[in-house]
Structure 1
Amino acid sequence: MGEARRATAADADELVRLRAVLLAHMSGRDPAGDDWRRAAAEMFRARLDEPDPTLAAFVVDRPDWPDRPDRPDRPGALAACAVGAVDQRLGGPGNPAGTTGYIYNVATDPDQRRRGYSRQCVTALLDWYRDRGIAAVFLRASAEGEPLYRSLGFARTPDPSMLLRFPLA
């Protein structure tokens, strides 16, 4: 079984590919357009090139990739990833420093699921948060992902989430 490692800028395109896998799985259709993919890859390259103290990604490399004759043009493919950011909020009684973590983009290639790769990536990310003294970590869980997150200590919160979208320029 592969082991989680810290992602680098060289992993940017694969992190975006796995995000597309995640979005397609959640919506039931392939996410359209290349603009978002280019922007996301640029963000990863910029923030992972010199490790950003507020962003980390952990990945597991595909163990079978070098031996895949159907994709020899894409070395370094990833089996799974988890991305996390640190957000500075106002402090409070349970979190005087006000730093919080947010995990997103936990994705595994469909043919690599049920091997513990997402668990490895999320666990490495949680260790990264602990090392930084982050007091609280948030995420949004799909029904399929919730058992994993519960096993790692996450619990549903009573806080309702709301969203406002501004039109794109």
Structure 2
Amino acid sequence: MVTVRRAAHSDIPEIVRLKGLLMEDGWPWHIELDDAWRERCAAAAATLLDSPNYACFVIDAEEGAGPGTPLASIVSTSVEQHLPGPNGSGRSAYLGDMSTDLVFRGRGYGKTLLDAALAWCREQDAGWVSLFSTESGHSLYRKAGFSPVGPFQHMSMGLD
């Protein structure tokens, strides 16, 4: 059995490394990650880790090694309050940054982290969870009950 724990500030370098791996390995286009990106990512992680509406769950590369040591896998989630509809709390969650180091893939770490993240979302009274999936993540998310379609069409636009 593998242990899942909440990320600590001393895990930020590894969080940044695994986020970079996710983008380099899982995104459908080539990206360049530079030191400026790493600094922005680390600063954002520090802010997020202090937020009560955010949780980053990790699995240590060496069982029980603890904060500040190499990580095998990460996932993050955040919960946001919206005005409620006729049913539910109006709280929704976003799951992101699921990344497992290449040497640890195939061990069920993704499912273990997904279960921890979804349990936390339920504890936060979120009635809905959304995510963007890489190609390699589709099977995991579908097995967990995620659907590529929902009652609303997902739309977005850049503000730059």
TM range (shorter): 0.7 to 0.9
Aligned to 1:38: 39
User: Which of 83, 86, 92 does residue 90 from structure 1 map onto?
Assistant: 83
Q: Is the 8 A contact 1:86 1:99 kept in 2?
A: yes
Task: Encode CA deviations 1:61-113: one digit per residue, 9 max, x unaligned.
Answer: 1128x8xxxxxxxx611110000011122222343x21100000000111110
User: Which of 138, 143, 154 does residue 146 from structure 1 map onto?
Assistant: 138
Gaps of 5+ in 1: 67-74
Equivalent residues in 2 for 1:5-154, closer than 5 Å: 5-25=5-25, 26-27=27-28, 29-48=30-49, 50=50, 52-63=51-62, 76-95=69-88, 97-154=89-146
Q: CA RMSD for the aligned pairs?
A: 2.0
Q: Is the 8 A contact 2:57 2:74 kept in 1?
A: yes
Shift of 1:10: 1.0
TM-score between the two structures when normalised by the length of structure 2: 0.86
**CA distance, structure 2, for counterparts of residue 108 and residue 31 of structure 1:** 20
Aligned to 1:70: none
Task: Encode CA deviations 1:1-56: one digit per residue, 9 max, x unaligned.
Answer: 532111111111111110100000124545322222212211222332x4x22100
Q: How many matched pairs?
A: 155
Please say which structure displays the higher CA radius of gyration: 1
Gaps of 5+ in 2: none
Q: Is the 8 A contact 1:80 1:107 kept in 2?
A: yes
Q: 1:145 is paired with a residue of what secondary structure?
A: helix
Aligned-pair identity (%):
31
